Amino acid sequence: MSTHTFFIAAAYAVTAFVVGGLALRAVLDHRTQARALEALEARGVNRRSRPKASPRPDGERSAQSAG
């Protein structure tokens, strides 16, 4: 084997550890944010980005969104 085998294996191991840690952090942060959002919605705070049902009973779009 090469004289650099240990260095290369260690570099791969550190990289895998860091990438795994970042992925785990993203998953945990997503869960935290989802819980926070559910708590806000339970208190009656709604997201502006969520599309509302139909603003008009007949389903027509308003003059502003007809563009």
Question: Quick check: is 24 in a domain?
Answer: yes
In a domain, 38, yes or no: yes
Q: Is 54 domain-assigned?
A: no
Q: Is residue 12 part of a domain?
A: yes
> Which structural domain, as residue segments, surrounds residue 5?
1-43
pLDDT of residue 58: 62
Q: Where are the alpha helices (DSSP H) in the chain?
A: 5-42
pLDDT of residue 59: 58
19 in any annotated domain: yes
Q: Which residues contact 47 (CB under 8 A, 6 or more apart)?
A: 37, 41
Q: Is residue 34 situated within a structural domain?
A: yes
Q: What is the pLDDT of residues 45-57, one digit of tens each?
A: 877 776 666 555 5
Number of structural domains (the chain) is: 1
The whole-number pLDDT of residue 15 equals: 98
Question: pLDDT per residue over 15-47, tens digit each?
Answer: 999 999 999 999 999 999 999 999 998 888 877
Q: Name the nearest CA neighbour of 20 among 12, 31, 9, 32.
A: 12
